[in-house]
Every structure is written in C-alpha cells, then in structure tokens.
Amino acid sequence: MDLPIEVDDQKFAPDDDEPGDEGIPRTSSEPEHHSGSEEFKSITGSLVEEHFENGRRYCSETYHMPNDEAEQTRLAIAHQAYLPALDDQLTLGLIPRSAKRILDVGTGTGDWAIAVADRFPQAEIIATDITNALQPPSAPPNVFFELDDAQSKWAYNEPFDFIHIRNLSGAFSSWSAIYAEVFKNLRPGGSFEIADCGVIQFKKEIPNSNTSIFNGAIRSAADRSGRPLDLDHLKRPMFENAGLSVIKTRVFEVPLGTYDPDPPKKVAGKMAMIAALEGLEAVSLRLMTKHLGWKEEDVRKLCGKVQEEVMKPDARAFIRVHFVIARKLM
C-alpha cells in the first residue's frame, strides 16, 4: 500500500487553515503565571549509559542511533532544516493557543520542545527520550525533561493537548503500541503530529549507485533488528486502528544542497545536506556491523562513496519529509 500522502514539491509553505485551532504565534505572548507540576521534574546530573562501538557512543545495547557530541550537533542542524520547510513554524498541525500540556516524544536535543515552550509560555512541555546525553544544561521553566522509553507503558495522570514525534523511524518494534499510547494520552479533540524522512534520492536516477546500495543495506539490517527503518508506520490504517482520525497528510521535497533557486529551499537544503551526510555513519554503523556482519571500515567506506555521490554538483539529491496529523475525536 502506498503512503496516503500527496507530494507537494512546488512550495514549502503548508496549509494553515485547520478549523477550530489557532497556529503557533511567531513571537511569544506575554508570559502567564506558570507553576510546574509536581509530577514532572527536569533531569539533572549525568544519567548517560555508555556503550562504545566503532568509535561512537550509544545509550543502550540495542538502539541503533548514537548519543555522542557528533550526533548532538547533527540533530541541532536537522532541526534548523525543518524550519524553512514549515515557514518558520514548528508544526504542520496547529496547536491551540489554549494548550496546557504538550508532549515531545524522542526529544533528542530538546530544540523543538524548547522552541514550543518559548512560544507557549502558559503550557507545560514534557520532553522524553531514552537518553539525556543530548539535552541542554538549561531550558525554559515550563520544559520538563524525562528519561523514558516510549515503548514502555506511558504513565501520565493528565492527557495532552498535542503530542509530537519526529524522525523516529527505526526506533520502535511496534508502532501500533506507540499509537495506542498516543490515543490513550490525548485529550478528546487533541492532535498528534508525526514526521519522518525518506531515503536519499536523486532527480535523475543513478544506476547501481552506492546510495541505492546503502539504502538497501540499512533497511535490511533494520528489518533484522526487529525495528524496521521505513515509512510503513505513516500509512493511514495504522492511525485508524488506534482510534486516531487522520486530518492532514503532507510531503515536502527537501533538496540536499543549494541547487534550488528558491531562497527558503536554499536554506533548508544547506542544513539538510549537512544533517544527511553526517547522518550516514550515525544510522548505519551499528546496524550494518551488528546485523549484517559488515566490518566498520567497510561501512565507513560506503558512507564516503555516498557522500561523494550526493555532493556532486549535478547530483541534485533530495529527501522527502512526510507529515501526518491525526486527532482524537472522542
């Protein structure tokens, strides 16, 4: 089954007319009085698990993405690449101005959660991840970082107005279980936004390219790990089976590089190129050495060849970023 998403490669600006909600303001309103819930506390100190493989640090023995300084930098750049695609907004779905509780699952560096907290000072932002190594030392007072594995049962006493997940393809063995928790923890009428990126592609297909070899290898390795690295979790039935009603789907085609003459795409393309090239080793080293039996040097060599292909002036490489916004109607 194909993704129920219509590609829009003519512009970046998404639709902004969802009835009943108001969009995120570009500038913060005057802060309201906020008292943090006793249920949540910001994480302090070091809770980093250190598993070193192939020159990278990981937070566990199973999760394939590293949590070292190089990954922290890459994630910060990737966040900046999203902003031009969303016309400097933080979501494609619309968060009501009255929102009191917002959840960011797999927050990573916390950039999205912190930006939302600045624009919604009256809301409580809960930002979770399986590692706190990527998070900043300080954050707005209404952001509460939690160390949590989203694959475990979510233990929240109050529902959320908005739940956000971004770039977690390959993170979970059961997306059905994740969506069930999303449904359970959304208030009636609350919204859920998920975004994920496809693989690197080229405007003109390159026969037997190193990039196609790389894409096939990481997908095969992820399948063997039990955590597929694909976009099947964005298919409409996945949401409907969890009781979530899909209200908007969208795909943005983001160039890798500055070849597109459109100024916002140039900015996004520059950031996306850096994030994509730095992400090659991040996504592949553990998967391909552990599940395909590749040697570290062979993985790095293939990554280097992919970088060369993508960086060729006439390559016109791109990725597609897929968004789905769903709502809990009851």
pLDDT of 49 reads 65
CB 155 within 8 A of CB 217: no
Tokens 């005057």: give the residue.
Answer: 30
User: CA–CA separation, 199 vs 295, rounded Å?
Assistant: 23
Closest C-alpha to 115, from 92, 90, 95: 90
CB 90 within 8 A of CB 115: yes
Q: Give the H/E segment covering residue 103.
A: strand 101-105
DSSP string covering 168-231: -TTS-S-HHHHHHHHHHHEEEEEEEEEEEE---EESS--TT-HHHHHHHHHHHHHHHHTS--SS
Amino acid symbol at 86 = L
Query: Does residue 310 sit within a domain?
Result: yes
Query: Do 145 and 127 meet the contact criterion of CB atoms below 8 Å apart?
Result: yes
**Considering the domain boundaries, does residue 26 fall inside one?**
no
Cα–Cα distance, 290 to 232 (Å, whole number): 23
Each residue's pLDDT, cut to its tens digit, for the chain (330 residues) gives: 333 333 344 343 333 333 333 344 333 333 333 333 333 334 444 455 689 999 999 999 999 999 999 999 999 999 999 998 888 899 997 899 999 999 999 999 999 999 999 999 999 999 999 999 998 888 999 999 999 999 999 999 999 999 999 999 999 999 999 999 999 999 999 999 999 999 999 998 888 999 999 999 999 999 999 999 999 999 999 999 999 999 999 999 999 999 999 999 999 999 999 999 999 999 999 999 999 999 999 999 999 999 999 999 899 999 999 999 999 997
Q: Is residue 286 part of a domain?
A: yes
Residue 56 maps to a domain: yes
Q: What is the DSSP letter of 224?
A: H
Is residue 43 packed enough to be buried (19+ CB in 10 Å), middle (13-18) or exposed (0-12)? middle
In-domain check, residue 3: no
Spatial distance between the Cα atoms of 194 and 324, rounded to a whole number of angstroms: 5
Give the pLDDT confidence score for residue 24 in this predicted structure: 42
Q: What pLDDT is stored for residue 50 in this prediction?
A: 81
pLDDT of residue 42: 42
| Residue 255 amino acid letter | P
In a domain, residue 97? The reply is: yes
Q: Which helix (DSSP H) or strand (DSSP E) does residue 311 occupy?
A: helix 296-311
Report the CATH number at residue 270: 3.40.50.150
pLDDT value, residue 47 = 54
> H-helix or E-strand containing 111?
helix 111-119
Q: Under 8 Å CB-to-CB from 175, ≥6 apart: which residues?
A: 232, 233, 238
Phi-psi map region of 56: left, alpha, beta (phi>0 left; psi -120 to 50 alpha) = beta
For residue 189, being part of any structural domain is answered with yes
Query: Is there a domain that residue 2 lies in?
Result: no
CB 287 within 8 A of CB 221: yes
| Predicted pLDDT of residue 48 | 56
Per the structure, the count of domains in the chain is 1
Which structural domain, as residue segments, surrounds residue 156? 39-327
pLDDT at residue number 87: 87
Three-state DSSP at 105 gives strand
